[in-house]
Chain A
Amino acid sequence: MVSQQSPSLHTVTAPPFWHCGRTVTGDMYRLLVALVPAALLGVYRFGYDALTVLAVAGLTAVITEALIQRLMEQSPSAHDFTALADGILLAFLLPATAPWWLVVVGSAVTIILGRMVFGGFGGSPVCAPAVGWCVLTVSWPAYMDLNGMLLRWDLVEPLSELKYFGVEAISGISLSSLVFGQNLGALGASQAGLVLAAGVALLCMGQIRWYIPVSYLAGVFGTALIYWLIDPQLYASPLFHLLAGTTMFTAFFLLPYPSASPVFRIPMILFGLMAGALTILIRVYGIYPDGAPFAVLLANLCTPLLDLIQPKPFGGR
């Protein structure tokens, strides 16, 4: 009998032979696509400037990574979209009218200090876009001041209002206007509703896990609730904190940054709760209106400690 099998070489590898099909490139692609609606709304609200910021931030990130990789004699990895994603994430945190040089510096810092000094994507113990944002905020506070930068619009930035003028100043800001991003705020991160939708979409695709976002939002809500119960005349309502500023964006896009967040379940939940509480503490006592990215970095520092809380291995007594 003549065999039907074509004489051919077979691929011999070690098991498992199946894979779930996820790749870093695919993940980053989905992340970027998920952010498109929020970015479009940002461009719609803040005009052409917003598009420039997005483009400059993305491009600078990719170019910076390529240059540093050449210096470090690493193989280029622009094709996996991780640098582009970091640049876009940073752009989401910036005022739409940020000058180009600020964007370039921020994006370069994101890549250099946020990841290349640690060896590249996946090696960094901190959330890279949060690093970029913090460096810019500390170095050029005037250019990062959302109220000041967006004077062109006859609107207010909710968290700055709260910080400088108290709870009464925000009484006119409805929750729905926060959901639909109808106030001043960071380019994309202020589109709370669409950012939440993007996060939930990624959650449903199994790309991000619920542990960190949910516990973070719970941490924000719980801590804000405590203050609010103490004195509602002095402190904003927990729902306001959930929707204002970069809370939603932090929950789904900054805090679960893969290499900088814990990996075990209980540590992830503690990590989220902690970052949530820190966010409110910084908003209440700090000198900056929105401290979410600071809270992210502080929580990142605790990741190795939190990951020491490990379950017993299989069969362990």
Chain B
Amino acid sequence: MKKLSTATPLSDSIRSIPAPQRVRIALGRGHTPAVKRKQVVGKGQVLAETTSSGPFGVGFVHATIDGIVEDILPEAIIIGPIPSPGEGKEAPVPERPGRAEHKNLADEALVRWLREMGIDTSRFHPSRTVVVNGLNPEPGAFLSEQLLRDERATLDAGINLLERAVRPGNVHLVVARGSGYGLHGAHVVEADPQYPSTLDALVAVTATGSENPEATDVISVADLYRVGRVATTGLPLTEAVLTVEGHAVRVPTGTPIVEVLDALGVQVPAGATVALGGPMTGEAISSLDIGVPENCTAITIVPPGRYPQVGPNPCINCGECVLVCPARIQPGMLSRYAEFALFEETRPRHIAACVECGMCTYVCPANRPVLQYIRLAKHKLEEQDAFVATCRLQDE
């Protein structure tokens, strides 16, 4: 099996591209819009608040450009250019929020402030070990190392703020061997940047030496960068930083993907797969018009025909998937059970241990959709469990 290294040459710098005319800002399920249609909004203004009020959870959503709310959809808010006012009328002036101070905040109040500034705080918990995953998580997606190299000051500011907000017991930073990256006050652990060991669950093992680390949160460098960005600017989070085909770029959240690709001169061949995220765990998109989500760290483009087509071929029981599986289970066997709808059989065979790294599909010489079958089984089991739980409730 070819080794899948995530070591990638970095881009010279993180570029910016011309601001888009129109952005499409994604809303989550926990968001309620705080603006109306046709309302003029300024960059940084709150577009949607969250329904839950605790300190830990998804962040507020902010306007990422000045403009007018063109549409409010269940899954996104679209902001477009302000139409020129009629004769004799004054053009409306969008109001941008000013710098917010956080110097006097600490603990939960500070976490809540982060949340209001657009940071997803659901990954943070008070007084736990924090592991910063400083490895590029997937081959070709190199934002983590780019930020460690170019944005050290912002990352340190992020650590400082986290220290006041959640008071972590220890902070570990896992970096590629010999890379020399560091962070303020973090204990540096070196590791081989070999996929899938670069995924959060396995990085936690590298940092703590345990597969069931107690009270440990793994965050990515990008997570930390967002905190640092809010901490240094005092402004809400309105941008995403991501890598695309060797470029590193900073864009307003919600910029249509097509504009990012155009600005970078990246061509998508007809029939290609375009995915948000890396090539192993990303999410394929059907249209280039969707906006860059705030937590997007990479766009992956896979031209058609580059790899053998994955299809419902029979498993030849070669065991390649077993040899690469970091969860030490039998992906081939599990995929066969799922293929024949014997979902219950997968439970005692430790399907729950799967970390969804995709190595099984990657190596399968029979070109089976191994992980896809496993995901199906996981999903069916969840459904079943939910069903059983509802029945129990009704019985009581």
The complex places the Cα of A120 from the Cα of B366 at a distance, in Å, of: 13
Interface string of B265-294 (1 = CB under 8 A from A): 101101111110101111111111000000
Knowing A8-B270, A122-B317, the reply to whether A19 touches B367 (Cβ < 8 A) is yes
The complex places the Cα of A8 from the Cα of B109 at a distance, in Å, of: 48
Report if B323 contacts A (CB, 8 A): yes
| Closest B residue, CB atoms, query A9 | B271
Knowing A5-B262, A121-B316, the reply to whether A12 touches B285 (Cβ < 8 A) is yes
Task: Check if B307 sits within 8 Å of A21, measured CB to CB.
Answer: yes
- For A14, give its contact among B201, B279, B307, B369 (CB under 8 Å): B369
Report if A199 contacts B (CB, 8 A): no
Task: Check if B267 sits within 8 Å of A4, measured CB to CB.
Answer: yes
Task: Check if B280 sits within 8 Å of A22, measured CB to CB.
Answer: no
Report if A123 contacts B (CB, 8 A): yes
Q: Which of the listed residues A4, A22, A27 has the most CB atoms from chain B within 10 Å of its own CB?
A: A22
Report if A165 contacts B (CB, 8 A): no
Minimum C-beta distance from B86 to chain A (A): 27
Interface string of B295-326 (1 = CB under 8 A from A): 00000101010011010011111111011001
- Which of B100-108, B114-122, B327-335 participates in binding chain A? B327-335
Contacts of A123 in B (CB 8 A): 314, 317
Task: Check if B282 sits within 8 Å of A19, measured CB to CB.
Answer: no
A interface, by DSSP: helix, strand, loop or mixed?
loop
Report if B392 contacts A (CB, 8 A): no
Task: Check if B262 sits within 8 Å of A11, measured CB to CB.
Answer: no
Contacts of A259 in B (CB 8 A): 316-318
Report if A72 contacts B (CB, 8 A): no
Report if B362 contacts A (CB, 8 A): yes
| Closest A residue, CB atoms, query B265 | A4
Task: Check if A20 sits within 8 Å of B327, measured CB to CB.
Answer: no
Contacts of B284 in A (CB 8 A): 10-15, 17
Report if B363 contacts A (CB, 8 A): yes
- Which of B52-60, B87-95, B233-241, B353-361 participates in binding chain A? B353-361
- For B262, give its contact among A1, A6, A17, A21 (CB under 8 Å): A1
| Closest A residue, CB atoms, query B270 | A8
Task: Check if B262 sits within 8 Å of A315, measured CB to CB.
Answer: no
The complex places the Cα of A265 from the Cα of B328 at a distance, in Å, of: 11
| Closest A residue, CB atoms, query B139 | A18
The residues in A between 241 and 294 inclusive whose CB is less than 8 angstroms from any CB of B are: 258-259, 261-265, 268
Report if A317 contacts B (CB, 8 A): yes
Q: Which of the listed residues B279, B308, B355 has the most CB atoms from chain A within 10 Å of its own CB?
A: B308
Report if B189 contacts A (CB, 8 A): no
| Closest A residue, CB atoms, query B319 | A263
Task: Check if B270 sits within 8 Å of A15, measured CB to CB.
Answer: no
Minimum C-beta distance from B79 to chain A (A): 18
Contacts of B75 in A (CB 8 A): none
| Closest B residue, CB atoms, query A307 | B330
Report if A164 contacts B (CB, 8 A): no
Knowing A24-B366, A206-B1, the reply to whether A19 touches B361 (Cβ < 8 A) is yes
Task: Check if B375 sits within 8 Å of A122, measured CB to CB.
Answer: no
Contacts of A9 in B (CB 8 A): 270-271
Task: Check if A14 sits within 8 Å of B372, measured CB to CB.
Answer: yes
| Closest A residue, CB atoms, query B355 | A314
Report if B350 contacts A (CB, 8 A): yes
Report if A172 contacts B (CB, 8 A): no
Report if A139 contacts B (CB, 8 A): no
Interface string of A12-48 (1 = CB under 8 A from B): 1111111111111011000000000000000000000
Task: Check if A11 sits within 8 Å of B316, measured CB to CB.
Answer: no
The complex places the Cα of A10 from the Cα of B290 at a distance, in Å, of: 13
The complex places the Cα of A24 from the Cα of B309 at a distance, in Å, of: 12
A/B interface sample: 19 pairs, CB < 8 A: A4-B261, A5-B268, A8-B268, A10-B271, A12-B284, A15-B284, A17-B282, A17-B302, A17-B307, A18-B139, A22-B365, A24-B313, A24-B366, A27-B365, A258-B316, A268-B319, A314-B201, A314-B327, A315-B211
The 5 A-B residue pairs whose C-beta atoms are closest, nearest first, are: A263-B319, A122-B316, A16-B358, A313-B353, A258-B318
